[in-house]
């Protein structure tokens, strides 16, 4: 099987989980199973549950994990449904949760997914291709005010309104349908000097992707659910609440760090 993705924070995340064989662990961001494979290898007598809404990732990971064992279950859905899904499966006690936030290299490298500003493709950016909202919808239908808001909030781009205005002006002439068309609009809006020095297209694409996939809202919902589920287990075992063990949240993005760091019970691996 071709290796699809290298998990950058693999050692840190596995160390943070402190895996005990026979436990129940939840990988909330399965991806291409980089972390889940190691969890399964270390947890032969226990159970692994994993979430991912990307159909390609689920298919690949199911095959990869099956070569290690059969003591796993994959849910093809967003981890925002963590609490409800686990309860349906009667999973009320969990030994550790893993959140590795972001998106994987196979998603970037697959041009037709529309995640990369370096590859020309239809504006899509959906993690779950069955969802209705696409990057094309955001770019072509959001108001000037709404575009400015998400660029400023999710990209922290000082020329947010300038870029949003350029997008609104361009779409009056023709629909914006490809990644390269959007990159060209951004470059012309901010000028070549600022564009090549600061590369605002990176943050603008990030902002649109966050909006399309509702990324921050699902984190805000799922993390407290995970913490409460884990706390139930700690109380049952020791009569007290663990506030720092057996959670692992990894992210490179400062915006996500701001959201996560406000939840003091979560161990956050900060990367520079």
| Per-residue model confidence as pLDDT tens digits over 93-113 | 888 888 877 666 666 777 888
Determine whether 2 is exposed, middle or buried from the number of CB atoms within 10 Å of its CB (0-12, 13-18, 19+): exposed
Between residues 88 and 1, the one the model is more confident about: 88
Beta bridge partners of 27: 50, 98
pLDDT range class, residue 51, cuts 50, 70, 90: very high
| Entry pTM | 0.71
E strands of 44-198, at which residues?
47-51, 72-75, 96-100
Q: Other C-beta atoms within 10 Å of 66: how many? A: 11
Angle, helices 144-155/200-213, rounded to nearest 10 degrees: 110
Q: How far apart are CA 30 and CA 12, in angstroms?
A: 16
Which tens digit of pLDDT belongs to each residue from 55-73? 889 999 999 999 999 999 9
């Amino acid at each position: 099987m071709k290796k699809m993705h290298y998990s950058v924070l693999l050692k840190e995340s596995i160390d943070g989980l402190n895996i005990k064989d026979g436990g129940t662990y939840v990988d909330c961001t399965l991806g291409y199973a980089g972390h889940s494979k190691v969890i399964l290898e270390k947890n032969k007598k226990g159970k692994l549950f994993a979430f991912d809404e990307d159909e390609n990732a689920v298919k690949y990971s199911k095959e990869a994990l099956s070569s290690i064992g059969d003591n796993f279950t994959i849910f093809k859905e967003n981890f925002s449904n963590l609490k409800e899904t686990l309860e349906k499966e009667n999973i009320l006690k969990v030994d550790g949760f893993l959140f590795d936030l972001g998106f994987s290299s196979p998603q970037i490298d697959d041009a037709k997914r529309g995640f990369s500003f370096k590859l020309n493709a239809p504006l899509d950016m959906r993690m779950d291709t069955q969802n209705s909202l696409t990057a094309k919808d955001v770019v072509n239908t959001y108001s000037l005010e709404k575009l400015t808001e998400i660029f400023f909030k999710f990209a922290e781009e000082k020329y947010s309104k300038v870029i949003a205005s350029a997008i609104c002006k361009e779409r009056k002439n023709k629909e914006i349908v490809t990644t390269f068309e959007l990159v060209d609009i951004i470059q012309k809006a901010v000028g070549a000097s600022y564009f090549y020095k600061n590369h605002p297209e990176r943050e603008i694409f990030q902002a649109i992707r966050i909006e399309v996939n509702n990324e921050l809202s699902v984190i805000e919902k799922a993390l407290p659910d995970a913490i409460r589920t884990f706390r139930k287990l700690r109380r049952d075992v020791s009569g007290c609440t663990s506030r720092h063990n057996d959670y692992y949240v990894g992210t490179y993005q400062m915006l996500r760090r701001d959201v996560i760091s406000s939840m003091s019970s979560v161990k956050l691996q900060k990367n520079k």
